[in-house]
Amino acid sequence: MPLKIIRQDITKIECDAIVNPTDPHYSHSGGTDAAIHEAAGSALYEACIAQGELGIGDAILTPAFALPSKYVIHTVGPIWQGGNSDEESALRSCYAACLALALGNRCESVAFPLIASGRFGFPKDRVLKIATDVIGDFLFEHEMLVYLAVYDKDSYAISEKLFSDIESFIWDNYEDDGLMFCYSRRMEDASPRPVKIRKQRKESVSYPCAPCASPTPTPDLDDMLRNLDCGFAETLFRYIDEKGISDVDCYKRANVDKKTFSKIKCNKKYKPSKVTAVSFAIALRLNIDETNHLLNTVGMSLSRSNKFDVIIEYFITTGNYESIFDVNEVLYKFDQITLGV
């Protein structure tokens, strides 16, 4: 199952387990820790204390009591000290230990916050990168639905160069009803609005008529129906074979769950959403022609009038990403739907 990045109060997520970032003594003195204890009730603190002091990078599991989940997994993240005290390794241990506990208790779904990014001061963008790395590696080996509750875009600190490159690409390629939109990044001292620039229309030019060609034969509908192109499923599996990867690697790279992939495999007429089709194109690293070919099998294509499509085209044409989560980071930053199912 995939990793889903969502904007939601973690205490309201209905899943098998939620993760509580706490301290060694479960003091629930602020942030997510306090919110979880308040929502669960006083019995949660008593259950924590009964398990003894908790070390950095470790995790324990308790009932969730009044929360909508079954369990709460408690973990202690590292206090940020500039990055020179093995903080990243300790944070990786937090995520790995929580996932191991969820797996050991047969959880099918678990929700994480950005551990240690609040009062412990760990930079949010680094937490996000570590979280997606550890969770992504875990999901390559195991089936589980993992939520990552993220509240703000500051967590997605994409580089200035990448932001500028994508913004320029949007400027050069994004068209809508004859208008081109220029999006300027908001700065502290200025917040420019999108500028609409009307595209110049070329003067019409008349050319002499070409010699009359033989009339085109009228197509035969029966012949056309007998020679339909391959559908989405057949085209997808042909590309999987051509790229030399396994089915499992493909759907995990696409951030698509096993159930959806099985539906595609068992139903030659399966019609996916555009987001699902694009997710497979990114997972398979298809070029722009191959991507449009895959999309065409279900009557879709990448359009220059859709910002989501233009951003996808940027990544396909530049290959400037390591995983689908890099693409999702940018889509989130530009207020677009993220990839996966």
Contact between residue 38 and residue 181 where contact means Cβ atoms under 8 Å apart:
no
What is the strand order of the sheet 175-176 is part of?
175-176, 179-182, 195-198
Residues in the chain: 341
- Please confirm, yes or no, whether 33 is among the known catalytic residues: yes
Four-residue CA torsion sign, 273, 276, 281, 284: negative
Contact between residue 22 and residue 76 where contact means Cβ atoms under 8 Å apart:
yes
Residue 235 CA to residue 319 CA, distance in Å, equals 22
Four-residue CA torsion sign, 285, 287, 290, 293: positive
Contact between residue 16 and residue 159 where contact means Cβ atoms under 8 Å apart:
no
Choosing from 33, 172, 222, 249, the catalytic residue is 33
Residue recorded with tokens 């595609």: 264
Q: How close are the terminal C-alpha atoms of the chain, in Å? A: 8
> Known catalytic residues?
33
